[in-house]
Amino acid sequence: MGILDVEIVKLYIRMCQDGWEQGWHERNGGNLTYRMKAEEVDACRPFFRTPGEWVQMGVTGENLAGEYFLTTGSGKYFRNVQPDPTHSIGIVEINDKGDAWRIVWGLENGARPTSEFPSHFMNHSVRVAATDGACRVIYHAHPANLIAMTYVLPLTARDFTRALWKSATECPVVFPGGVGVVPWMVPGGADIALATSELMKQYDAAVWAHHGLFCSGPDFDTTFGLMHTIEKAAQIWILAQSAGQGKILQTIRDDELRAIATEFGVQLNEDFLD
Ligand code: 13P
Ligand code: ZN
């Protein structure tokens, strides 16, 4: 029995492999963090090493003080997580101020958590507050069709949400609140972390223009499913726009979106309906 036999670590590695197989993680693209439950930390604790130094994050999330996160490493490839987890992923502990991390397992040979850890951390902070503690997963990927959409649609939550809802009938059921859109920004720092987390107060997914997508959720299935559903809708949108050379003959009307919401018992964000 080693840490790689602990169920939550196995599920985390499986999600990384699933993302790689979808083609969303070229080179070191994308990152995944999971806020561990106390009993999961206890199951992993026998395998922790002497902790590393505390490293300031440049952002603060007081509601995450003392939490433990599974994280992918900066510059590490999703393709390598399954065959080489100890160098590709790790566990970090958050200090009692909620502004620094230290490595307690993995990320061997001097690796560090993802460069997007500030964005993940701030998204966790606001989603934990927005979901009464239910949110545990933040997932960033580079799905090609969604990124392509950011070159041809206005960069507003309304434009993206409407386009995606109308691209596949299940979409309004899967993300009834819609998606937020962050304009192009330099990745990896506190500024994009704060801009994204501001949107994540309202949305459980946020598009990064010309870069990718952030999704949040209570577990790996829901969060991976959200990424998958949004990217599939984006693919259909791109295919329909390409096939019709920008001319759309028919689509799902707004009254039909409302009918789906009624039938499935979800509340659509009315700001995005005509
Ligand atoms: P990391 O390798 O630091 O996780 O960065 C990848 C990425 O997608 C940056 O946005
Ligand atoms: Zn990225």
Q: Label residue 268 by pLDDT band (50, 70, 90).
A: very high
CA of 184 to the centre of ligand 2 (A): 12
What residues contact residue 143 under an 8 Å CB cut-off, 6+ apart? 22, 24, 212, 213, 227, 230, 231, 234
115-165 tens-digit pLDDT: 999 999 999 999 999 999 999 999 999 999 999 999 999 999 999 999 999
For 153, the token pair is 């649609």
By the 10 Å C-beta count (0-12 exposed, 13-18 middle, 19+ buried), 100 is classed as middle
C-alpha 66/C-alpha 104 separation (Å) is: 13
Read off the pLDDT of residues 176-189 as tens digits, 9 standing for 90 and up: 999 999 999 999 99
Catalytic residue list contains 116: yes
- In the prediction, which pLDDT does 170 show? 97
pLDDT at 224 (0 to 100) = 99
Residues in the chain: 274
> Mutation test of ligand 1: which of 26, 140, 192 has the most ligand atoms closer than 8 Å to its C-beta?
140
Locate the ligand 1 atom nearest the alpha carbon of residue 28 and give its number. 2
User: Using one digit for the tens of pLDDT, what is the confidence trace for 189-243?
Assistant: 999 999 999 999 999 999 999 999 999 999 999 999 999 999 999 999 999 999 9
75 lines ligand 1 (CB under 6 A): yes
Distance between CA atoms of residues 57 and 124, nearest Å? 14
Q: Where are the domains of the chain?
A: 1-115, 140-274
Nearest ligand, CA of residue 189?
A: 1
Q: Which tokens go with 122? A: 């701030």
pTM for the predicted model, two decimal places: 0.98
Query: Distance between CA atoms of 42 and 184, rounded to whole angstroms?
Result: 40
Cα distances (Å, whole numbers) of residue 247 to 237, 243, 244, 251: 12, 9, 5, 11
Ligand that lies nearest to the alpha carbon of residue 147, given by its number in the listed order: 2
Amino acid 199: pLDDT? 98
Q: Which of 21, 116, 198, 270 is catalytic?
A: 116
Fold of 140-274: L-fuculose-1-phosphate Aldolase (3.40.225)
CA of 28 to the centre of ligand 1 (A): 6
The model's confidence at residue 94, banded by pLDDT at 50, 70 and 90, is: very high
Quickly state the pLDDT bin for 110 (edges 50, 70, 90): very high
| C-alpha–C-alpha distance, residues 4 and 13, integer Å | 9
Mean pLDDT, range 48-67, rounded to an integer: 97
b/e map of 239-272 (b: 16 or more CB within 10 Å)? ebbeeeeeeeeeebeeeebeebbeeeeeebbeeb
Mean pLDDT for all residues in the chain: 98
Give the integer Cα–Cα distance in Å for 246 and 19. Answer: 30
Distance from C-alpha of 196 to C-alpha of 140, rounded to nearest angstrom: 12
Q: What percent of the chain has pLDDT over 70?
A: 100
What is the mean predicted confidence (pLDDT) over 91-98? 98
How far is Cα 112 from Cα 106, in angstroms, rounded to an integer? Answer: 9
Rounded (5°) CA angle 160-163-169:
125
- CATH class name, domain 1-115: alpha beta
